[in-house]
Structure 1
């Protein structure tokens, strides 16, 4: 079973903006929306180039926010085939866990 690191997202945001709860919430929402957008693009990708680009963008986004579990999944997606249902399920589950 894979563990997810929602605590690292909060820690990265807190380190960036201090204890401003409103700003942390705004940045968290921006991250979640951006990650969802990239996962949606992955799910619609039908060629290697679009798949790799969406995976690369997702990996960069996750690296910016210190979400290591999703970095690993994005790297796995980069190496995989467009539309891989297993990696898409894992990415969605990881994102869902961060949404809680």
Structure 2
């Protein structure tokens, strides 16, 4: 699954129109929220906390059209505390 750098911007443009400054602001808010989601996964004390954080990250990704991140968050919900998957999530968020 490849990362589509235009998907998020296209989703934002569809929502707010041709407003480059607003798109940039919303993109930044999305990236910051995704980073907080990753921190929540890393801090999860048990499987339920992990699954909850993964579900929130999946919903966030879906809202912005970040398909790869959404797929990884879906996998994370099924594989609590998987270090390799956590690393993939980190890389995916870093690419945003």
TM-score, normalising length from structure 2?
A: 0.95
Larger RCO: Structure 1 or Structure 2 (Cα < 8 Å, ≥ 6 residues apart)? 1
Cα distance in structure 2, aligned partners of 1:79 and 1:56? 10
Cα distance in structure 2, aligned partners of 1:96 and 1:32? 9
User: Please, which runs of 5 or more residues in structure 1 have no aligned partner?
Assistant: none
The yes-or-no answer on 1:42 pairing with 2:50 is no
Deviation per CA, 1:41-74, whole angstroms, max 9, x where unpaired? 1011120110000000000001111111111000
Cα distance in structure 1, aligned partners of 2:92 and 2:74? 14
Query: Could you tell me which residue of structure 2 aligns to residue 33 of structure 1?
Result: 32
Number of aligned residues = 96
User: Please, which runs of 5 or more residues in structure 2 have no aligned partner?
Assistant: none
What do you get for the CA RMSD once the two structures are aligned? 1.0
Query: Could you tell me which residue of structure 2 aligns to residue 14 of structure 1?
Result: 13
Cα distance in structure 2, aligned partners of 1:60 and 1:51? 14
Flag as ranges the 4+ runs of structure 1 deviating above 2 A: none
